[in-house]
Amino acid sequence: VCCPRRSQPCWRWMRLIASRAGSYPHEVEQADRTMTELLHIVCPHCHTTNRVAAEHLASAPDCGKCHQPLFTGHPLALDAASFERHIGRSQVPVLVDFWAPWCGPCRMMAPAFEHAAGLLEPHVRLAKVNTEDEQQLAARFNIRSIPTLALFVNGREVARQAGAFPSAQDIVGWVRSHL
């Protein structure tokens, strides 16, 4: 609406919008729809935020900066800085495994978590945080037992599970039940 007194937009306003979109008013809705379907995806290699159309997620998109694949089918190893970037900027849900190298159940679950990454990507990003190296991050999220899986959607934790899952299908089922 170009004027608070009008309940409908005027043609002058629509022409301005259309000129910016490079089309006419009847095509503006289509351009707006395309813009809203872009997702922010953080590159696992250079940690640059990329905009990717939702319908292109399955077609193996590459990073615009480093030209590496945005989805590798493997979990990412995150430190505190990359954790903040991936959780805070990515519009794809992120499943984080808080683990430690000395933990037997963590080592037992690692192959299942690796396989789950191949099954869930590109719709869910899987990552690992070594709680021995990132103790402040583990304390900030109140990690009391390991392994602990935490699912983040749009920067917020939506689900948490302490303990190891025996198979990749159990991990996938748990994630899908919380999305």
Q: What is the 3-state secondary structure (H, E, C) of 33-81?
A: HHHHCEEEEECCCCCCEEEEEHHHHHHCCECCCCCCECCCCCCEECCHH
Are 125 and 50 in contact, with CB atoms under 8 Å apart?
A: no
Task: State the sign of the Cα–Cα–Cα–Cα dihedral 35, 49, 73, 130.
Answer: negative
The whole-model pTM stands at 0.79
Q: How large is the average pLDDT for residues 60-82?
A: 94
Q: Is residue 88 very low, low, confident or very high in pLDDT (cuts 50, 70, 90)?
A: very high
- How far, in Å, CA of 115 to CA of 118, rounded? 5
Neighbouring-strand partners of residue 92 = none
Confidence class for position 28, pLDDT limits 50, 70, 90 = very low
Residues with a catalytic annotation lie at 103, 106
**Which tokens is 102 given?**
């000395």
Percentage of the chain with pLDDT > 90? 74
Residue 12 in this model has a pLDDT that exceeds 60: no
Higher pLDDT, 163 or 10: 163
